[in-house]
Structures are given as structure tokens and as C-alpha cells.
Amino acid sequence: MAHRVFFSTSTQSHNAGPRGYIEKKGMEAICSQLRSVFDLDRRFFFVHSSHGLFNVLGPQLKEAQGAEIYIALHSNAVQKGTVAYYFSSSVKGKHLASCLFKHLAPLSPGRDTGGVRAHDSFWEVHMPPMPSVLLELEAHDWLRGVLWLTGKRKTIAKAIYRGVCDYYGLVPKPAIIGTVKPKPKPKPKPPVLDPEPPAIPNVPFPPPVPPREVLVVYLPGLQTSFELTKSDFWVSFLTRMGIRFEVVTK
């Protein structure tokens, strides 16, 4: 069964800050982001009251009665940083406050000045029958606080989601908080190599041609010559005839 988580937002429309910030509108905008985050996780059922405190009217009353935890969203004045208030005798309330503070405080611009505190006089802390936390996200009376409250709504919503998961001992969905592991890159394919040329057959070279001797014959009275294959006959004949010749090796 899904965990029923009940959020209420501040009704304090008179609390204003720089650049036209109004606490009521600021918390409703953050709660809208919270709904979009929690609706992605079927382990939770999101309930929201825009009437503030625990004054749930109409059909929301039935939904709120089955809620397991209650978180009231506010922005602060004077006190910078995230402050999580819980009922002093509620062990679970303190645990919820600590989980929310752990994930929110490091993100807020006044992170070094907030804290987790018991405060029994707040109606949103001591009236709900379930573990409850009044969450002052950040001060709205300084510019850095307002810029964070209005410019980092999705980040704030995801931090609250992490805190609620932490309270229940659940692992946040990676697809919601943005830690999806990237798909492994495909291994590069080996380069396509040109096919090897066919092997040259091992044909033996022909044996070298042995040098041969020829007779260069010079005819008398002519500026020409011709060759004869050397033989004893031609050597003898040319010698007897007195025809000049020479032996040349080719």
C-alpha cells in the first residue's frame, strides 16, 4: 500500500519579501512541484491542503485522515536557513524533521544558520495525530532567500522527496532525482580492413641466360658491320679471307 503523505501550505498572504514575493503563493508553487515529483513514485499517495494548518475541507478531509505523516510548508522571516520544527515528545516527528533537514539545509543559501528544533506551541506541530513537521524552507526577507525559493522549486521538491524516502528507509527513484545511470556506450566496431591480396605463387625465376660471344664483322670499304654467332668455322673463314672482325661478349 502506498504511503499517504499530507502537505499543507502557508495561508499567510501578508508575508512579503523582495521582488514581490508572497509566502502563500511561494509555498503553493513549491507544493505544485512536490505533487509532480511524488506522483511519479507509486509508493506514495500525495495529499495537499491549500487551506493551511490542519483545516482540511470537503473531500480532502477523508484523504488527510489516512495520512501517515504531515508536513507544513512555510518560508521564514529573520531566521535564515532551513528550520525543521517537530513536537518534542514525538520520536518519529523528530526523525522526520532530521531527514528533511539533512537534504534541504545544504541547498539553502542560509544553510549554516538553520536547524532541527522542538517547538510544541505551533498548532501544525502538536495538533496532527501523525508525525508532523513545520518546515521553514528559507527566509523570505532577504534577496538570496527569495531567489532560491522561487528559482529552485524543483530542486527543493526533490530534496523533500529524498527526505521522505529517507524517513521510510526507501531508495529514491533515480528517474525522479536525476541520477539515472547513462546507458553504456556501445563498443566501437573494429575497423573494416581491406581484404588481403591473393598470395603470389612461388614461381621460380628462370635461370639466367649465360653470356654468349658473337663476331662483329667489318666489311672492307663499307661503313657498316654485322654480327655472326661465334664458331670455329666463321673465325677460320674470316681469318683466311682477311676480313676484319672482333669477338664481343653479350
* High-pLDDT (> 70) share of the chain, %: 89
Q: What is the pLDDT of residue 108?
A: 95
Q: Residue 225 pLDDT more than 80?
A: no
Reported as a single tens digit per residue, the pLDDT across 86-118 is 999 999 999 999 999 999 999 999 977 889 999
Q: Please, what are the domains in the chain? A: 3-177 (3.40.630.40), 213-249 (no CATH)
Where helices occur in the chain by DSSP H, the ranges are 23-38, 60-65, 91-104, 123-126, 143-151, 153-168, 174-177, 232-241
Reported as a single tens digit per residue, the pLDDT across 35-87 is 999 999 999 999 887 665 545 444 455 556 688 999 999 999 989 999 999 99
Q: What is the pLDDT of residue 56?
A: 47
Reported as a single tens digit per residue, the pLDDT across 232-246 is 887 888 788 887 878
Contacts of 31 (CB under 8 A, 6+ apart): 7, 9, 48, 50, 73
Q: What is the pLDDT of residue 247?
A: 80
Q: What is the pLDDT of residue 57?
A: 43
